[in-house]
């Protein structure tokens, strides 16, 4: 039997001082809600229910391909939010687990551990963690392996404040059991809210067993302010760097490399300092990404070299053993196997065939002010430095474009193109002109 995740994502996050719903703020170049959904899906969720409120339409549209959404009409606490999923899961027979859209770091392994423990021996399972400083967190009251209750920090007796095991807020049970307990939660507290954690005491009063899975402290990271968002970004980057190294990637200066949630690097990839991986980047085995390069929406094939100081924009495809050098920008273009674009060039909306060479300062003039135009170069084409290719043009295999040419027409295979003004030398005029200008300056 599969499980369903219930992801609480209704909060505005007033301390963010933003018009965006809190869960749509980015960590690792992806909204926080994406991190939570990714973990739930990797753990094997059969269904994902996202509870929305402020900015609900934006959140619902964003997750539409991965989750169902239900609305929380009134922001009345975590228990009230989780109960909003009851109708959507009315016929669901498996487990439900409550997660948080502003808590992006709960790992799939933790979710699986919760579900396994619940299936093995407990009616309800909650997740705890042991922070260095437990101040402010609810404490988990244990009797051996049994969780007897959760008490908020402000309600703790002095002895309870010494408890190191704190509540993360993640709780799992059979869906029908969870909703039955949630329906009994009351809001007779200072905030007038329905607390999810109250289901533990209700479950124990009903004779049900409650257990705990302890997770890593960083999984408890949640975001309620811009400062905490920055802290979450630091946690994400540290985890991403460590995972990349574990997977066989060499990071010369790990603290200077920045990843996105979906960055995919193969083994034996070398990443030099000060590299940024934007969204949707994949790099195959043995490639080298040199210093100060920025990549997004692109694919780099095996043993290719990118940079230093290169920019790969969306749609860039670098073939095996291809080379993209310093101060080169590639956009929506395919660089074929073994092709080289080594210096100071812009390649946009183009296909460059295998083993072609694009010289320094070459520009693909792909935009006429209204439309983008595409050019195609065959294999082993040589484009001399400082040339401009005015798209759309087709250049055949083995063609050679002379330095400084402006190419406006198709070039048959094997042809030599010389498309520049004829040089004219005016005897002695250079010195006379310079002398005249210097005289005017005095």
Domain boundaries, the chain: 3-220, 226-417
153 tagged catalytic:
no
Q: What is the mean pLDDT of residues 340-360?
A: 98
Helix residue ranges, H only, 258-358: none
Q: Which of 17, 24, 104 is nearest to 60 (CA)?
A: 24
Place of tokens 């495809």: 317
**Angstrom distance (rounded) from CA 97 to CA 173:** 7
Q: What is the mean pLDDT of residues 81-95?
A: 96
- Alpha-carbon torsion 150, 156, 162, 167, what sign? positive
Task: Give the pLDDT band of residue 11 (cuts 50, 70, 90).
Answer: confident
Torsion of the alpha carbons at 261, 265, 266 and 270, rounded to the nearest 10 = -150
Cβ atoms of residues 86 and 179 within 8 Å: yes
**Angstrom distance (rounded) from CA 250 to CA 252:** 6
Strand partners, 417: 401
Cα angle 220, 226, 231; round to 5? 45
Task: Give the pLDDT band of residue 188 (cuts 50, 70, 90).
Answer: confident
Q: Which of 300, 305, 369, 360 is nearest to 327 (CA)?
A: 360
User: Would the pLDDT of 189 be above 90?
Assistant: no
Q: Which of 36, 31, 7 is nearest to 21 (CA)?
A: 31
Other CB atoms within a 10 A radius of the CB of residue 440 amount to: 7
**Angstrom distance (rounded) from CA 172 to CA 184:** 17
pLDDT at 417: 96
CATH number attached to the domain at 3-220: 3.90.550.10
User: Would the pLDDT of 190 be above 80?
Assistant: no
User: Active-site residue among 62, 294, 299, 343?
Assistant: 343
What is the widest separation between alpha-carbon atoms in the chain? 106
User: Would the pLDDT of 1 be above 70?
Assistant: no
**Angstrom distance (rounded) from CA 347 to CA 281:** 18
pLDDT at 81: 96
- pTM (two decimals): 0.91
Helix residue ranges, H only, 206-352: 226-246
Q: How many residues does the chain have?
A: 442
**Angstrom distance (rounded) from CA 68 to CA 47:** 8
pLDDT at 191: 79
Task: Give the pLDDT band of residue 152 (cuts 50, 70, 90).
Answer: confident
**Angstrom distance (rounded) from CA 327 to CA 387:** 16
pLDDT at 110: 98
Strand partners, 331: 348
Cα angle 319, 325, 326; round to 5? 150
pLDDT tens for 211-247 read: 999 999 999 999 999 999 999 999 999 999 999 999 9
pLDDT at 19: 92
**Angstrom distance (rounded) from CA 91 to CA 184:** 20
Higher pLDDT, 278 or 153: 278
Q: What is the mean pLDDT of residues 97-108?
A: 97
pLDDT tens for 12-42 read: 888 999 999 999 999 999 999 999 999 999 9
pLDDT tens for 42-81 read: 999 999 999 999 999 999 999 999 999 999 998 899 999 9
**Angstrom distance (rounded) from CA 128 to CA 138:** 10
Spatial CB neighbours of 188, under 8 Å, sequence gap ≥ 6: none
116's tokens: 């396994």
Q: What is the mean pLDDT of residues 278-287?
A: 98
**Superfamily of structural domain 226-417:** Hexapeptide repeat proteins (2.160.10.10)
């Amino acid at each position: 039997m599969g499980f369903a995740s219930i992801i609480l994502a209704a909060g505005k996050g007033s301390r963010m001082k933003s018009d965006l719903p809190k869960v749509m703020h980015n960590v690792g170049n992806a909204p926080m809600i994406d991190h939570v959904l990714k973990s739930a899906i990797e753990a094997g969720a059969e269904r994902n229910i996202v509870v929305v409120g402020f900015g609900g339409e934006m959140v619902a549209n964003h997750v539409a391909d991965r989750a169902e959404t239900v609305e929380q009409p009134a922001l009345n606490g975590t228990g009230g939010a989780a109960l909003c999923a009851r109708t959507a899961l009315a016929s669901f027979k498996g487990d439900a687990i409550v997660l948080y859209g502003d808590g992006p770091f709960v790992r799939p392994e933790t979710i699986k551990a919760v579900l396994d423990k619940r299936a093995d021996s407990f009616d309800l399972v909650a997740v705890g963690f042991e922070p260095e400083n437990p101040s402010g967190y609810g404490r988990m009251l244990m009797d051996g392996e049994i969780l007897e209750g959760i008490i908020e920090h402000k309600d703790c007796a002095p002895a309870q404040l010494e408890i190191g095991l704190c509540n993360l807020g993640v709780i799992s049970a059979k869906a029908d059991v969870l909703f039955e307990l949630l329906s009994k939660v009351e809001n007779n507290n200072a905030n007038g809210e329905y607390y999810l954690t109250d289901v533990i005491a209700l479950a124990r009063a009903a004779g049900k067993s409650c257990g705990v899975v302890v997770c890593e402290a960083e999984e408890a990271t949640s975001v309620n302010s811009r400062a905490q968002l920055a802290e979450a970004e630091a946690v994400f980057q540290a985890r991403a760097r460590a995972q990349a190294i574990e997977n066989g990637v060499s990071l010369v200066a790990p603290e200077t490399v920045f990843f996105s949630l979906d960055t995919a690097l193969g083994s034996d990839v070398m990443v030099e300092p000060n590299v940024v991986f934007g969204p949707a980047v994949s790099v195959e085995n043995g490639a080298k990404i040199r210093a100060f390069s920025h990549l997004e929406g692109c694919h780099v094939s095996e043993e290719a070299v990118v940079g230093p100081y290169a920019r790969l924009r969306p749609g860039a495809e670098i073939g095996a053993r291809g080379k993209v050098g310093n101060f080169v920008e590639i956009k929506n273009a395919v660089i074929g196997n073994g092709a080289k674009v080594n210096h100071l060039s812009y390649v946009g909306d183009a296909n460059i065939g295998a083993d072609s060479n694009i010289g320094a300062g070459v520009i693909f003039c792909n935009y006429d002010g209204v439309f983008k135009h595409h050019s195609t170069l065959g294999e082993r084409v040589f484009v001399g430095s400082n040339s401009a290719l005015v798209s759309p043009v087709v250049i055949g295999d083995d063609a050679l474009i002379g330095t400084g040419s402006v190419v406006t027409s198709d070039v048959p295979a094997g042809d030599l193109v010389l498309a520049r003004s004829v040089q004219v030398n005016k005897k002695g005029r250079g010195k006379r002109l310079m002398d005249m200008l210097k005289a005017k300056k005095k």
